[in-house]
């Protein structure tokens, strides 16, 4: 499933296309998508496909098409402080974007069947925390991933405000998923080739809405011998944050706000790069031949040819130069990190405030 929007050259270009096609409709979802580079979740050698609106699979590693993730993010109606459960959490790409919106006082859990994929997701999460400047621009709820079959979740598990299932759900498993949801919560999952939004309106009442026609691989069901008891999946406990964590959150928030005020006071407003100008194409007709049975028949087909008059060429070059300048402004410095490193504090405390990030 995918291919609904044009291919992008980079992550920002992809998001521009998703916005233009109305798959991304709210600012907070757009910010989350721009903060996480989809290409970072691809294996080396496959990144060229990252900005196409197509699903990607390599072994057990799988990413849905960008248009699916954007519809899911919009349908979940995420807010700070909510609890989120990702069934079939995969690479952690979606869970990481969700964490940027629900913030440090939310809950962010994922269950994934394949152990190697959970390890991959943890590596990608660690890389995001250590190396991405986006990490310092948001208050983040770090996802916690566990290995297990999401159809075997312990019956005494707590309920969640928001749930997404990233695999096809058969009708006889629908109620099982609904029970994991709090009253007032939202569940998004594919049922019978429809991405469906389900809102729990009461103890035994739900409202359903079809969002998008989709095609998902079905949930994995473990094969076990007759009478063999399945291993129940224990979801991570919901715990109160420690005083140290609370201190770090509020210190970082204060420094971030001060840094933003300081940069605005000096006129150092960070700008979003303008979208690159697309080249216009003109169609021309050419002769070609096609086989019909064992006969060659001439046929006229249309071919696209780039058209870029000389007077337009200069304008495009100037726009590209402006884009490069804007990108340099965005990548100059990580203001929060510089603020922390400049504080008269022991190195161990600076490292703690940076979430033990490398300089």
Q: Which residues are catalytic?
A: 64
CB count, 10 Å around CB of 41? 23
Provide the H-helix boundaries in the chain. Answer: 11-20, 27-35, 66-76, 93-102, 115-131, 174-179, 243-265, 310-330, 335-342, 347-353
Distance (Å, rounded) from C-alpha 355 to C-alpha 244? 12
- The CA-based dihedral angle spanning residues 274, 65, 93, 91, taken in that order and rounded to the nearest 10 degrees: -150
Cross-strand pairs, 122:
none
Helix axes 93-102, 115-131, angle to 10 degrees: 50
Q: Are strands 280-292 and 194-200 parallel, antiparallel or unpaired?
A: unpaired
Using the CB atoms, write b or e for 56-79: b if 16+ within 10 Å.
beeeebbbbbbbbbbbbbbbbebe
Distance (Å, rounded) from C-alpha 121 to C-alpha 61? 9
174's tokens: 């629908």
Nearest in space to 74 (alpha carbons), one of 94, 55, 51, 50? 94
Distance (Å, rounded) from C-alpha 186 to C-alpha 163? 6
């Amino acid at each position: 499933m995918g291919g609904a929007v044009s291919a992008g050259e980079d992550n920002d270009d992809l998001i521009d296309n998703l916005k233009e096609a109305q798959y991304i409709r709210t600012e907070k979802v757009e910010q989350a998508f721009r903060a996480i580079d989809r290409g970072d979740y691809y294996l080396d050698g496959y990144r060229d496909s990252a900005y196409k609106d197509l699903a990607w699979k390599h072994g057990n590693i799988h990413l849905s098409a960008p248009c699916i993730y954007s519809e899911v993010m919009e349908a979940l109606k995420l807010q700070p402080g909510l609890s989120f459960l990702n069934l079939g959490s995969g690479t952690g790409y979606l869970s990481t974007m969700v964490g940027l919106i629900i913030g440090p006082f939310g809950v962010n859990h994922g269950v994934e069947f394949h152990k190697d994929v959970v390890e991959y997701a943890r590596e990608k999460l660690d890389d995001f925390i250590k190396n991405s400047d986006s990490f310092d621009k948001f208050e983040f709820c770090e996802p916690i991933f566990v290995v297990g079959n999401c159809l075997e979740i312990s019956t005494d598990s707590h309920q969640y405000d928001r749930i997404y299932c990233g695999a096809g759900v058969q009708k006889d498993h629908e109620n099982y998923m609904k029970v994991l949801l709090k009253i007032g919560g939202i569940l998004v999952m594919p049922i019978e080739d429809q991405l469906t939004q389900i809102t729990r309106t009461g103890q035994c009442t739900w409202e359903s809405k079809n969002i998008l026609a989709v095609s998902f691989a079905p949930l994995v069901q473990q094969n076990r011998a007759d009478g063999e008891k399945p291993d129940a999946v224990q979801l991570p406990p919901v715990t109160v944050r420690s005083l140290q964590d609370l201190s770090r959150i509020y210190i970082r928030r204060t420094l971030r706000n001060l840094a933003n005020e300081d940069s605005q006071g000096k006129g150092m407003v960070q700008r979003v790069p303008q979208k690159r100008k697309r080249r216009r194409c003109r169609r021309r007709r050419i002769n070609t031949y096609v086989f019909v049975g064992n006969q060659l028949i001439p046929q006229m087909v249309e071919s696209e040819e780039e058209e870029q008059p000389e007077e337009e060429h200069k304008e495009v070059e100037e726009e590209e130069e402006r884009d490069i300048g804007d990108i340099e402004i965005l990548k100059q410095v990580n203001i929060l990190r510089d603020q922390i490193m400049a504080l008269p504090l022991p190195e161990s405390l600076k490292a703690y405030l940076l979430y033990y990030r490398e300089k």
